[in-house]
Amino acid sequence: MAHCLVPTAEEILDRVFPVLDKGFVRLVDYLGGDARIVQAARVSYGEGTKSYREDAALIDYLLRNEHTSPFEQVVLTFHIKLPIFVARQWIRHRTARVNEISGRYSILKDEFYLPAPEDVALQSRDNKQGRAEPLPADEAAAVIARLEAGQKAAYAEYTALVDMGLARELARIDLPLSLYTEWYWQIDLHNLFRFLALRLDAHAQKEIRAYAAVLLEIARRVAPAATASFERHTLEGLRFSGPEVAEIRRRLARTSGAADASSEEVPLLEGKELERFEAKLASGRQL
């Protein structure tokens, strides 16, 4: 198959998709789309040998049964501007190729992330890595003002150190995590879906979820059938452990009247495990 052009992807090449207050995502290049996945799966010598419906069904089968290698044939390259604290979470996904702006060579821009008032919240009491309820508007405004003052002071010191001739690699070290950075990020579709499954989850930090939502929209433009299958089977699906499956069977048997009376009310899960299971069922009912 020759170079695969996807009209919906061509329409958005180099388009800036704003994220957060100063960030963005741009699709700068792509290799392949749904047709490439189908070709890789069939190892065929041509195009159009099957109908779109049959191709979509094949893609759905591949994703549902976790035949991942055909999805690796599709590659997307992004230009992304993001706060450093988001980048540090992002870089944990070690399945992409990254080239980031260097503060050793470049003068870093005076651009910092400030959360919206509705995103300024207290620390969650039961989730060590999450937020609780937002602060009242006046308190949120005060927090944002303190963050902004700290950012301005840090950048003023950075500028002063650069102006006195200090090495840029040293001058940068006191800049805060809210500073924006930029990178080119290239990843295949299989690993992009893995990234999205984790970073679109409600437990992920809100700021990185905002980027993941934009990446999902771009993936729809590049490989619509594959992304639809990913949304159906992964984003909208649920996975259960062995004990959770046993608990589901116990409840179904109790509902149908086929359960042993002695085991009807004996839960197979307890404590945090039971709480997580109930939360999972509740999230599934909301889909």
Question: Could you give the residue numbers annotated as active site?
Answer: 199
Contacts of 18 (CB under 8 A, 6+ apart): 24
Give the number of other Cβ atoms within 10 Å of residue 265's Cβ. 9
CA distance 73 to 191: 11
How far lies 14's CA from each of 79, 129, 191, in Å? 9, 34, 22
CA distance 80 to 26: 6
* Amino acid at the residue 160: A
Beta pairing class for 180-188 and 121-123? unpaired
Backbone angles phi, psi at 167, to 5 degrees: -55, 135
How far lies 84's CA from each of 179, 196, 209, in Å? 6, 19, 15
